[in-house]
């Protein structure tokens, strides 16, 4: 999966962040994980590995692109995780809102301009004591460039302001790769 990303210049969270997601899922004994934006399943594989070792559960893989979903399904089959994954080809935040249960972990890696508006739905669908993991919070340093007012950069900034101002969250920034926020829902 990593060689595919390198060959096709496809953005993935990479092995350090993947392992961190796996570790967090193992630490809390996660059984239910929802991914907002899943690509071709790289992060899904790390979460599914944790679920398998936690005794089972489900990872919701969510993308707009049917071809990416098919690729993810193929990878999960080869890795022996396909029975742990539910595939959705749909808009991620809307799909999260349609779920009837709460989740142990929600992983957010959608278009950055959509980050701020996703927080309300995430808060509704994450159980108390659950974890929110958000990728690209340093946005390749663009969040520090005052001249960068692009919608994506502003989305990352606004999401950061909202979650850190909300007293229902305990928030930390992990300074690996492109920055990951780990937020504990009280």
Whole-model pTM?
0.93
Count structural domains, the chain: 1
Phi then psi dihedrals of residue 86, to 5 deg? -110, 125
Output the tens digit of pLDDT for each of the chain's 186 residues.
Answer: 888 878 988 877 888 999 999 999 999 999 999 999 988 899 999 999 999 999 999 999 999 999 999 999 999 999 999 999 999 999 999 999 999 999 999 999 999 999 999 999 999 999 999 999 999 899 988 999 999 999 999 999 999 999 999 999 999 999 999 999 999 999
The residue segments making up the domain with residue 131 are 2-185
Phi then psi dihedrals of residue 76, to 5 deg? -65, -35
Strand order in the sheet with 103-108: 85-89, 58-63, 32-36, 103-108, 126-135, 180-185, 169-174
- CATH number of the structural domain spanning residue 132: 3.40.50.150
Phi then psi dihedrals of residue 130, to 5 deg? -85, 170
């Amino acid at each position: 999966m990593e060689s595919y990303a390198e060959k096709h210049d496809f953005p993935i969270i990479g092995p350090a962040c993947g392992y961190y997601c796996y570790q967090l899922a193992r630490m809390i004994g996660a059984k239910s994980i929802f991914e907002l934006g899943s690509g071709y399943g790289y992060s899904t594989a790390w979460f599914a590995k944790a679920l398998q070792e936690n005794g089972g559960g489900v990872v919701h893989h969510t993308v707009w692109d049917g071809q990416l979903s098919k690729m993810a399904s193929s990878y999960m089959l080869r890795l022996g995780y396909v029975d742990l994954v539910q595939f959705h080809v749909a808009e991620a935040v809307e799909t999260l809102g349609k779920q009837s249960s709460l989740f142990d972990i929600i992983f957010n890696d959608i278009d950055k301009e959509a980050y701020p508006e996703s927080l309300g739905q995430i808060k509704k669908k994450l159980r108390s004591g659950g974890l929110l993991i958000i990728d690209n919070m340093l946005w390749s340093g663009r969040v520090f460039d005052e001249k960068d007012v692009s919608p994506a950069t502003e989305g990352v900034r606004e999401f950061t302001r909202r979650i850190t101002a909300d007293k229902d969250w305990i928030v930390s920034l992990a300074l690996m790769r492109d920055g990951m926020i780990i937020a504990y829902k009280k």
